[in-house]
Chain A
Amino acid sequence: MHNATIKSLAADLAARKFSSVELTRHLLSRIRALNPKYNCFITVDDAASLKQAQAADDLRAAGRAGPLTGIPIAQKDIFCAKGWLTTCGSKMLSSFISPYDAHVVEQLNGAGAVNIGKTNMDEFAMGSSSETSFYGPVRNPWNADNVPGGSSGGSAAAVVARLAPGAIGTDTGGSIRQPAALSGICGLKPTYGVVSRYGMIAFASSLDQGGPMARTAEDLAIMMNVMAGFDARDSTSLERAREDYTGEIGKAVKGLKIGLPKEFFAEGAEAGVTGAVAAAISAYRKLGCETVEVSLPSMKLAVPVYYVLAPAEASSNLARYDGVRYGHRAQDYADLTDMYKLTRAQGFGQEVKRRILIGTYVLSHGYYDAYYIQAQKVRRLVARDFAEAFRRCDVIMGPTSPTTAFRLGEKVDDPVKMYLNDIYTIPANLAGLPGMSVPCGFDGSGLPVGLQIVGNYFAEAKMLGIAHQYQQATDWHLRVPPGCEG
């Protein structure tokens, strides 16, 4: 049952082929066996998961089951879950038992989903490799010497290793799409404001967006139906009517106009990546799609803009970790300022401190206009590029990441090199557009490649339908990493 999709598990649960308790027990035993190798999970709580599974089975017996009732979903440890250790991959929160649920967690619980565990991640979601976690690096199930991508690397690795059929993640500069690509699964970053950020530990608030990760686009759609929606507790949550994200699953893609930004194909991507992406685009042509070249001329400015905006917002958001109300507090200190300084020096890892320093500098007196305001202006240029491109096409496609999964330790000491790994994913965050990654093949070393699909605002259902058609024609998402077949 661990190879089954959310959709087929739901059908089997409905047909009483097995119970949620049986399914949950099975996945917990797989986690026990495989997690020591991949380090996908920070917290697994058998009793809590099984209690939810039993409640889901009871809900079903009462005739009140929905599409996610009894389905185990892994949760990135950035989402507050009441009664669960919620660490955000940081020593700072290594003893934080959340007193409340994030909106997304509340929605999943309300739908009867089972929290199968809290997944490992880059500390405070700052990273592209899941190596900066206080709990040690996550390893890629396709090759344990390589990273799974990040920051939602634990969620991605858990889904591809068949430890969970789906997971939730967050994406500030690519943190859902890039690990989905490097681990060989599907991941969707919705339009900014579609999924509530309430209870999702803040990194860069104008960019952060939660989303689903699973093995098929159809499963992402099923998860979106539960996760998305207006929430008054997030001041940037959009007031929109409920939408059925499965609405375009099964719709033909004939006549679809695919925009190929020349900057996505210019240079910099590995041959194994460009080859697989080109083949995927050919597959779409065979399905009757047209392709048109478009341009995103400001794209190369996206990474520099991001590394002003995200650290600036992070330095402000992370000011709350002062050792007073929750989280780590230093033991020995001279006075209050000393307590703050030592608490933060001990509680945060190197990458988080680096970004706090960058952010504090760009927001400091005399630099605000030159950095933050200038970055917000260039951000608009990036968004305008997309608006122009979408006059000529329905969706944009290209690689999700310029490389496949790289070796552990390869980039961790060179921040700029690590940052440039997100060159194709950051533009959609800056523009607030929905973006997703779909498995589209493997490179010469047997590592997965992701095809990125970027749509116009609120085009999630359409994009999921487009990805679904590709998955009907290909079987990349059915490949199982060696050792995970079970």
Chain B
Amino acid sequence: MIPYAAPIFKASLPVFMALTLDDVRRVAHLARVAIDDAEARAVLSQLNDVFRLVAEMQAVDTAGVEPMSHALDVTQRLRADAVTEADQHAAFQSVAPHVEGDLYLVPKVIE
């Protein structure tokens, strides 16, 4: 690594691909967020502003650079396969929207 090497940008910059209204609807469905057409339209231009900003980062040549997920490159700790938690289901279920007989209730999914 050369000290203070400026990031090298790829010769051919990726063309900024604007999202479409269908992309927004698809992503909202994947994220399980209801969205109507007026909201989708409003959010579309804001998302495209963000992705225009993100394109700057996509243009950098990162060949040979390892992805960084933890600042100190530590890995996840392992622990003994032993029970460490006490049963607190009553406390935890006390904040649930709908509980019956220790079970979380949701709308019927199987006919």
Q: Are A193 and B72 in contact (CB under 8 A)?
A: yes
Cα of A335 to Cα of B5 in the assembled complex, Å? 55
Say yes or no: A364 contacts B69, CB within 8 Å: no
A374 in the interface (beta carbon within 8 A): yes
Report the minimum CB–CB distance from A400 to chain B (whole Å). 20
Total count of chain A residues near the partner, CB < 8 A = 79
User: Which residues of A (310-366) have their CB < 8 Å from a CB of B?
Assistant: 315, 319, 322-329, 333, 335-342, 344-345, 348, 353-354, 356-361, 364
Q: Which A residue sits closest to B57, measured CB to CB? A: A304
Evaluate contact between B1 and A380: CB separation under 8 angstroms.
no
Residues in A with CB closer than 8 Å to B74 are: 193, 236, 238
For chain B, the count of residues having a C-beta within 8 Å of the partner chain is 58
| B18 proximal to A (CB < 8 A) | no
Closest to A384 in B: B1
Nearest chain A CB to B1 CB, angstrom units: 6
Q: Is the CB of B53 within 8 A of A339?
A: no
Is the beta-carbon distance between B30 and A360 smaller than 8 angstroms? yes
The reply on B27 being an interface residue by CB < 8 A is yes
- B52 / chain A contacts, CB cutoff of 8 Å: 416
Interface-located stretch among A241-249, A275-283, A295-303: A295-303
Given A335-B107, A339-B106, A99-B71 contact (CB < 8 Å): no
Does B97 count as interface, using CB distance less than 8 angstroms? yes
| Proximity bits, A356-393, B CB within 8 Å = 1, else 0 | 11111100100000110111111111011100100100
- Cβ of B56: which chain A residues have Cβ within 8 Å of it? 300-301, 304
- By a CB distance below 8 angstroms, the chain A residues around B101 are none
Q: Which residues of B contact A97 (CB under 8 A)?
A: 94-95
With a cutoff of 8 Å between Cβ atoms, the chain B residues found around residue A339 in the complex are 106-107
Name the B residues within 8 Å of A295 (CB-CB): 4
Q: Are A303 and B53 in contact (CB under 8 A)?
A: yes
A residues near B43, Cβ cutoff 8 Å: 353-354, 357
**Contact across chains for A416 and B5 when beta carbons are under 8 A apart:** no
In the assembled complex, B47 has its CB within 8 A of some CB on chain A: yes
Partner pick for A377 among B4, B29, B68, CB 8 A cutoff: B68
The reply to whether B23 and A238 contact each other, CB–CB distance below 8 Å, is no
Which residues from B are CB-within-8-Å of A370? 58
Chain B residues in 8 Å Cβ range of A395: none
> Are B95 and A96 in contact, with the CB atoms below 8 A?
yes
What is the chain A residue whose CB lies nearest that of B68?
A: A380
Given contacts A96-B95, A99-B92, A371-B58, contact A192 B72 (CB under 8 A): yes
User: Could you tell me which residues of chain B, from 1 to 57, have a CB within 8 Å of some CB in chain A?
Assistant: 1, 3-7, 19, 23-24, 27-35, 43, 46-47, 49-57
* Known contacts A358-B47, A371-B54, A384-B1; A324/B35 CB under 8 A: no
Q: Tell me, yes or no, whether A143 is within 8 Å of chain B by CB.
A: no
CB distance from B83 to the nearest CB of A (A): 14
Are the CB atoms of A297 and B32 closer together than 8 Å? no
Q: Would A379 and B31 be within 8 Å (CB), given that A323-B97, A339-B106, A388-B3 are in contact?
A: no
Contact status B32-A340, CB under 8 Å? yes
A interface list, Cβ under 8 A from B: 95-97, 99-100, 191-193, 206, 232, 235-236, 238-239, 295, 297-298, 300-301, 303-305, 307-308, 315, 319, 322-329, 333, 335-342, 344-345, 348, 353-354, 356-361, 364, 370-371, 373-381, 383-385, 388, 391, 414-416, 419, 431-433, 457
Seed contacts A295-B4, A357-B47; 6 additional CB < 8 Å A-B pairs: A192-B71, A304-B55, A325-B93, A336-B106, A391-B3, A415-B49
Question: Which residues of B line the A interface, CB within 8 A?
Answer: 1, 3-7, 19, 23-24, 27-35, 43, 46-47, 49-58, 60, 62, 65-72, 74, 76-77, 79, 88, 91-98, 104, 106-107, 109
27 contacts between A and B (CB under 8 A): A99-B92, A193-B71, A206-B70, A298-B7, A301-B7, A303-B53, A304-B53, A325-B104, A326-B95, A326-B97, A354-B50, A357-B33, A358-B51, A361-B47, A364-B30, A371-B54, A377-B68, A380-B66, A380-B68, A383-B71, A384-B1, A388-B1, A388-B3, A415-B46, A419-B53, A432-B70, A457-B72
